[in-house]
C-alpha cells in the first residue's frame, strides 16, 4: 500500500470509528471540500463539519472500497447507513470521493452523490415529490451551512 492509499484507508477507518480528530489531522492546512450539500468548505470548515456530523451520529455504519490512487490524486467509493436525526428516517448514501494530495495530506476532497436520492430517503414524501427541485436542495444546503456555523461558534 503506497502513502496515498494509506491516507485514504486511514481516513475512512477513522470515519468508521467516529474518530473525527484523526480525520481532521489528515487534511492539509489549505484543504477544500465540496459535496452536494456542503459547497466549497475551507480547511477549518471541513474539519468542523466532520466533528459536527460524527459527534451527532447515533447509528452510523460505513464501508469503503475501490480505492485508486496515483502520484497526485485518488478516489474511492464509500457508503453510509444511518438514521437522519430530523426525521428519524433511515438513509443509505452511496458516495464517490475524489482527492488531490499535497505534502502527504488531503488537499482537495470532493464527494459526489445523488442529492435527490438522499432527500427521498431522509425527508420522506416531501423529498420524493420535491427533492429534485433547486428550492428544496438549496434549503438543505442552507440548513446544513447554518448548522455548521452554529457548531463552529460554540
Q: Please state the domain extents for the chain.
A: 3-114
> In the chain, what percentage of residues exceed pLDDT 70?
100
Does position 131 have pLDDT exceeding 80, yes or no?
Answer: no
Sorting pLDDT into bands at 50, 70 and 90, what band is 54? very high
At residue 10, the pLDDT reads 97
3-114: CATH number: 3.10.450.50
- Region for 66 from its dihedrals, namely left if φ exceeds 0, alpha if ψ lies in -120 to 50, beta otherwise: left
Collapsing DSSP states into helix, strand and coil, what is residue 113? coil
Would you state the torsion angle of the CA atoms of residues 140, 93, 106, 10, taken in this order, to the nearest 10 degrees? 140
Selected residue with higher pLDDT from 33 and 137: 33
Q: DSSP letter at 83? A: E
Q: What is the pLDDT of residue 15?
A: 97
Average pLDDT of the chain is 94
149, pLDDT greater than 80: yes
- For the stretch 99-128, pLDDT in tens is 999 999 999 999 999 999 999 999 988 877
Tell me how far apart the alpha carbons of residues 134 and 150 are, in angstroms, rounded to a whole number.
24
DSSP state of 75: E
Residue 98 or 88, more confident: 98
Q: pTM for this one? A: 0.91
**Spatial separation of the C-alpha atoms in residues 60 and 42, rounded to whole Å:** 25
Query: Which pLDDT does position 134 carry in this prediction?
Result: 87
Amino acid at each position: 500500500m503506497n502513502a496515498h492509499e494509506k491516507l485514504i484507508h486511514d481516513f475512512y477507518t477513522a470515519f468508521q470509528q467516529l474518530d473525527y480528530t484523526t480525520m481532521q489531522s489528515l487534511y492539509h492546512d489549505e484543504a477544500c471540500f465540496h459535496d452536494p450539500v456542503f459547497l466549497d468548505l475551507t480547511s477549518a470548515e471541513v474539519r468542523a463539519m466532520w466533528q459536527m456530523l460524527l459527534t451527532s451520529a447515533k447509528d452510523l455504519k460505513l464501508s469503503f472500497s475501490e480505492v485508486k490512487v496515483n502520484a497526485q490524486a485518488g478516489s474511492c467509493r464509500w457508503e453510509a447507513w444511518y438514521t437522519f436525526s430530523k426525521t428519524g428516517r433511515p438513509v443509505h448514501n452511496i458516495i464517490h470521493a475524489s482527492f488531490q494530495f499535497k505534502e502527504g495530506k488531503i488537499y482537495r476532497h470532493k464527494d459526489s452523490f445523488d442529492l435527490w436520492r438522499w432527500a427521498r430517503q431522509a425527508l420522506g414524501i416531501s423529498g420524493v415529490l420535491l427533492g429534485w427541485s433547486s428550492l428544496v436542495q438549496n434549503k438543505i444546503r442552507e440548513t446544513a451551512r447554518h448548522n455548521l456555523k452554529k457548531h463552529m461558534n460554540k
